[in-house]
Amino acid sequence: MTESILTVAGLNANIEGQQVVEDVSFEMLPVGVTALLGRNGVGKTSTLRAIMGLIERSGEVTIAGERVDREPTHRIVQRGVGYVPEDREVFASLTVNENLRLAERDSAPNRQLIEELFPDLIARAGQLAGTLSGGQQQMVSLARALVNDNRVLLVDEPTKGLAPLIVMDVAKALERAAQTVPVLLVEQNLQVVRMLAEKAIVLEGGRVVYDGSAEELLGNEALTKELLGVA
């Protein structure tokens, strides 16, 4: 039996006393992209944040067979979890290079990969991240996660608010990353999901309502409409 890389069982989470994740359970594929889907406000971002320990949570979270749900965020990351948050959260007052340096945990960071994927960033190494465009900031945020050898990546709406051309750049970078590390992807852009994801998990009201093949879900227009509200 192959050990699942990330398993979530009975996960609950609160923000200021309001339950935002309710009894969520799922397993990630050990390879490729698993998409976490659902309408706006169903708790996708909160689920990722709960896994990361960034909000108050209870339930079981297992990474490569080890429980991490009682560990502080930085320990979870050190176990090999790369996190690309919603809205990018780059450090605006730091340069691109400083953003990357801060993220480097390994003694031999994958600078090569970053240079290949985002040549633009290397050219702008000395620029303050706050002065970059949204797309460039997203690349910094992705690069911060890819610069280390991770066991799993959690990526939250990486294409949100980006121009269509940039969306494809980001999607290609994710596709490339997913060749070496499994990715849990929250994404509203179904085109990107179609392109990348093999498995899909759909949340509604903080709970899992679909767990299966991404292709089957997106191939079924009625189901897609029912679960995601869009075709």
Partner 1 sequence: MSTIILLLITGLGLGALYFLVASGLSLIYGLMGVLNFAHGSFLTLGAFAGWELSRRMGGESWGTLIASMLLGMVVGAAVAAATEFLLIRRLYNRHIEQVLVTVGLALATVALFEGIWGTDPIYVTAPPWLSQTTEILGARVPNDRFLMIGAAVLVLLGIVAFLRYTRFGLIIRAGVENRSMVTALGIDVRKAFTVVFAIGGAAAGLGGVLASHYFGYVSPQLGGSLLIFAFIVTVIGGLGSLAGAAIASVVVAVLQQFANYFWGGTGDLMVVLLLAVVLLVRPTGILGKKA
Residues that bind partner 1 (CB under 8 A): 52, 54, 72-74, 77-78, 83, 85, 89, 91-94, 98, 101-103, 105, 144, 148
Which residue, 71 or 198, is less far from partner 1 as judged by CB? 71
Q: CB under 8 Å, gap of 24 or more: what pairs does 125-131 form?
A: 125/95, 125/96, 125/97, 126/95, 126/96, 126/97, 127/95, 127/96, 128/92, 128/93, 128/94, 128/95, 129/90, 129/91, 129/92, 129/93, 129/94, 129/95, 129/96, 129/99, 130/90, 130/92, 130/93
Closest residue by Cα to residue 174 from 6, 14, 34, 9: 34
DSSP annotation string for 40-99: TTSSHHHHHHHHHTSSEEEEEEEETTEE-TTS-HHHHHHTTEEEE-TT----TTSBHHHH
Taking the complex as a whole, the smallest distance from the CB of residue 146 to partner 1 amounts, in Å, to 12
Taking the complex as a whole, the smallest distance from the CB of residue 83 to partner 1 amounts, in Å, to 5
Which residue, 61 or 77, is less far from partner 1 as judged by CB? 77
Which residue, 103 or 185, is less far from partner 1 as judged by CB? 103
Taking the complex as a whole, the smallest distance from the CB of residue 72 to partner 1 amounts, in Å, to 7
Which residue, 136 or 148, is less far from partner 1 as judged by CB? 148
Handedness of CA 112, 149, 49, 184 (dihedral sign): positive
Taking the complex as a whole, the smallest distance from the CB of residue 157 to partner 1 amounts, in Å, to 15
Which residue, 89 or 198, is less far from partner 1 as judged by CB? 89
Taking the complex as a whole, the smallest distance from the CB of residue 196 to partner 1 amounts, in Å, to 22
Which residue, 106 or 115, is less far from partner 1 as judged by CB? 106
Taking the complex as a whole, the smallest distance from the CB of residue 55 to partner 1 amounts, in Å, to 10
